[in-house]
Amino acid sequence: MKSEPDVFSIDELARRGRAGWDGVRNYQARNFLRAMKKGDLALFYHSNAAPPGAAGVMEVVREAYPDGSETWSQVDVRFVEKLPRFLSLEELRGMPELKGMVLFARSRLSVQPVTPGQWKAILGAARRHAPRF
DNA sequence: GCCAACGTTGGC
DNA sequence: GCCAACGTTGGC
């Protein structure tokens, strides 16, 4: 799930704990929103950023409901974690396990599916190469 | 800020 | 139903 960090970032979600994911105005993205189940995990992706990339993990805590309009929907999410290490789009592109990921093929879709294999690869890379303190 | 890709709108 | 015009997204 993409957000421009200037508008709403992973740090802001961490502060608030929970947020409504609204403003989706694309039918395909909306349909993916509507397919989400309570308890599903989602990546928080910073778009239109320098650099863009995967920043954190969140959990769906309320399934899709009308956002005030007839047409569009939102879900509620809660903060789970910031990735131990930010994974830039450039790095994601370079990961062989992520070949064919929707993120690269349909770059303008703001809500999109991640396969279990892709999920493991991303979380694994963020943990494996995380700085130790 | 630019611009390519993509989605939506509306005249015909 | 086609397609040009227009708006939005998002990488760079």
Identity at A11, one-letter amino acid code: D
pLDDT digits (tens, 9 = 90+) for A76-110: 999 999 999 999 999 999 999 999 899 998 878 99
Chain-centroid distance of CA A81 in Å reads 12
Cα torsion angle, A115, A120, A125, A127, sign: positive
DSSP string, A10-60: HHHHHHHSEEEE-----HHHHHHHHH--TT-EEEEEE-SSSS-EEEEEEEE
> What 3-state class would DSSP assign to A7?
coil
* Residues facing strand C, Cβ within 7 A: A 2, 4, 25-26, 47-50, 52, 89-90, 107-110
Give the percent of chain A with pLDDT over 90: 86
**What Å value separates CA A108 and C1' B1?**
19
CA to C1' distance (Å), from A53 to C6:
29
pLDDT band at A132 (very low <50, low <70, confident <90, very high): low
Of A41, A39, A54, A56, the residue nearest A101 (C-alpha): A54
Distance CA A51, CA A48 (A): 8
Between A75 and A71, residue with greater pLDDT? A75
| Nucleotide nearest the Cα atom of A71 (by C1') | B8
Determine the Cα angle at A43 with ends A83 and A10, to 5°.
Answer: 60
